[in-house]
A and B are shown apart, each in its own frame.
Chain A
Amino acid sequence: NAGVTQTPKFQVLKTGQSMTLQCAQDMNHNSMYWYRQDPGMGLRLIYYSASEGTTDKGEVPNGYNVSRLNKREFSLRLESAAPSQTSVYFCASIRAGTGGISSGYTFGSGTRLTVV
């Protein structure tokens, strides 16, 4: 099925461990995003990639790095996990131009991360 695929769905890390969250889309979208969702705070943008080969910081980038591996894949890395990074992480993508604006973002199913 077409869409945004995230792995893993669940992860428990110990403080200081590292991990990479994977995201892939098969809709030929140009722009991809990583959000975190915390209770009562909506979604906050961590990093985004407006097009292949570019990445930029969002609202809450500290403690994270990203890689836009190719047009399909956009990964999020936690180098040294902290309990404050316990959250649900969503990857999203959107087509460039007016077509993308009118159809909106497509979100992945989320990764539930707990850091103990």
Chain B
Amino acid sequence: ELKVEQNPLFLSMQEGKNYTIYCNYSTTSDRLYWYRQDPGKSLESLFVLLSNGAVKQEGRLMASLDTKARLSTLHITAAVHDLSATYFCAVGNNNDMRFGAGTRLTVKP
């Protein structure tokens, strides 16, 4: 059974600092997604990673995928308050997509 583990589950960081969120999964998969969720809101797609070594960047966020290690990272560069949200990774195929528990990120001034 596919299991997805994210860490850390809670992350409090200062503005301007860098940090990385990790997403480990237990079986091979053909895709990995990162989503953002603001409190009380729906999930917004951030990145889709489809192949080993894939790297995607959008603003201060960069996601990468290592399929051999079954690991994806979401790197935050010079955090700003607007990045405060919960971040989920999701792994699998269309009909069996498993989500991590989420990382609640708080960026403090």
Contacts and interface: CB of A to CB of B under 8 A. Distances in A.
A50 interface: yes
B22 interface: no
Interface in B28-85: 30-31, 33, 41-45, 48, 50
Interface string A45-75: 1001010000010110000000000000000
Contacts of A84: none
Nearest to A43: B99
A100 B94 contact: yes
Given A101-B48, A104-B45, A43 B88 contact: yes
Contacts of A102: 48, 50
Contacts of A48: 95
Nearest to B97: A45
Given A101-B48, A105-B33, A31 B95 contact: yes
Contact of A42 (B30, B33, B88): B88
A90 B43 contact: yes
Contact of B4 (A42, A90, A100): A42
B95 A104 contact: no
Interface of A: 31, 33, 35, 40-45, 48, 50, 56, 58-59, 90, 94, 96, 100-110
Q: Which 10 A-B pairs have the closest CB atoms?
A: A42-B99, A43-B99, A104-B45, A107-B42, A107-B43, A42-B101, A109-B42, A104-B48, A104-B33, A42-B100
